[in-house]
Homo-oligomer: A and B are copies of this chain.
Amino acid sequence: MVRPNAGTKGVPRLDRETQILDIASEHFGTHGFAATSVAAIADRAGISKPLIYNYFVSKEGLFEACLDRGGALLAEEIERIARGDAVGIERGMATLAGMFDLLEPQPYLWRLFFDPTAPSTGPIADSIALYADRIGKLADEGVTELMGLAGNNDPLDISAMTAVWLGIVDSLMNWWMEHPEESAEQMMQRCMRLLTALFGGASE
Which A residues form the contact surface with B (CB < 8 A)? 30-35, 111, 116-117, 146-147, 150-152, 154, 156-157, 159-161, 163-164, 166-168, 170-172, 174-175, 179, 190-191, 193-194, 196-201
Interface hub of A156, A159, A194 (most chain B Cβ within 10 A): A194
A197 touching B146 in the complex, CB below 8 Å, given contacts A168-B164, A172-B164, A179-B156: yes
In the complex, the answer to whether A175 meets B150 with C-beta atoms within 8 Å is no
* Additional 20 contacts, C-beta under 8 A, given A34-B34, A117-B117, A160-B191: A30-B116, A31-B116, A32-B117, A35-B116, A35-B117, A146-B198, A147-B197, A150-B200, A157-B194, A160-B175, A161-B194, A161-B197, A163-B171, A163-B175, A164-B171, A164-B175, A167-B168, A167-B174, A168-B171, A170-B171
In the complex, the answer to whether A197 meets B159 with C-beta atoms within 8 Å is no
